[in-house]
Each structure stands twice: as C-alpha cells, then as structure tokens.
A = this chain, B = another copy of it.
Amino acid sequence: MNETKELRSGIYNKGEITLDEIIKSVKNNPKIKNVGSIHVFTGIVRESSKEGKQVKSMKIDSFDDMANITIDDICESLKKKNGIIDVKIVHFKGDFSLSDDLVYVVVGSAHREEGFDAIKNAVDLYKKKIAVWKREDFIDGTSKWIH
C-alpha cells in the first residue's frame, strides 16, 4: 500500500510545499520506471528588476480558480507529448524576500532531450497564461505591478 497521495499542481501559499515533496511525488508516478531524467525549474526573487531598479521584496497575487485550471491544462497538454511521463507546476502566492522560491516546475521524461524541451515549454506557458501577478517593491519605497 502506497500512502503517498499524488501531489496536485496549482497555486499554494508561500512555502506550503517543498521541492523535495514534488520530486517525491514524481518518483511515485506509476510509470516512474520509464523515466530517465527529472528536470526542475525554480523561479526565485532577483534583486535587480528588468529596468535595473533594486528590489527589496515581492508580492504575488493569484486568481486561484483560473490559475489552477490553466496550470492543469498546461501539465496535461505537455504530458501528451512523446516521452513526457509527468509534469508538475506549483506556483506560490504571498509576500516574498530576495531569493525566496516563487515557483517550481518539475518534469519527468524518458530521455533528456524531451525533458529539456518540455520544461522550457512549461515555463514559457505558465509565464504567459496563468492568472498570477507579481509586484516588485523597490528599496526606494516605490512599487510596480509587472505586466
């Protein structure tokens, strides 16, 4: 009897899930024997904004219902590709300090080539599509929602 429940992709509060738990969940996939590589992308808070302003902290807001639907769509569409066994996307919301983890994407693939393609794809898709917004709070006291 395996007591580990499959971990649901989607929006979580900051720190509610560890990367380790997501990888363990991929390792519990019934098709894990077909997996030869596990790929991980972790987005973290960088100090320098795109315009070069110095970031002090970050706020992530999410329309959970819509974001969860889109995250599931992205994972399911990528799992249909040849050699992609599992895809998990966990995006956090809340208040973040420098270098805090914002998002985890984990892909289990038969061979590494498919895995590299799929994780890049997954990141591009969640950045464009899921109903999540980030606000950079700068050291000069100003703030900006990024679009």
Interface residues of A (CB under 8 A from B): 19-20, 23, 27, 32-48, 98-99, 110, 112, 115-116, 119-120, 123
* Complex contact A37–B32 (CB within 8 A): no
Q: Contact between B40 and A42 (Cβ–Cβ < 8 Å)?
A: yes
Additional A-B contact list (9), CB under 8 Å, known A23-B42, A39-B39, A39-B42: A19-B20, A34-B48, A35-B46, A36-B45, A37-B43, A37-B44, A38-B41, A38-B42, A40-B42
Do A33 and B20 have beta carbons less than 8 Å apart? Answer: no
Whether B41 and A36, one on each chain, are in contact in the complex, defined by CB atoms closer than 8 angstroms, is no
List residues of chain B with CB within 8 A of the CB of A44.
Answer: 35-38
Chain A: interface secondary structure? mixed
Copies in the complex: 2
5 A-B pairs, CB-CB below 8 angstroms? Answer: A19-B23, A35-B44, A37-B44, A39-B42, A40-B42
- Bound complex: CA of A32 vs CA of B42, how far in Å? 13
In Å, the complex CA distance between A89 and B74 comes to 30
Chain A to chain B: the 4 pairs with minimum beta-carbon distance, closest first: A40-B40, A36-B46, A33-B47, A38-B42
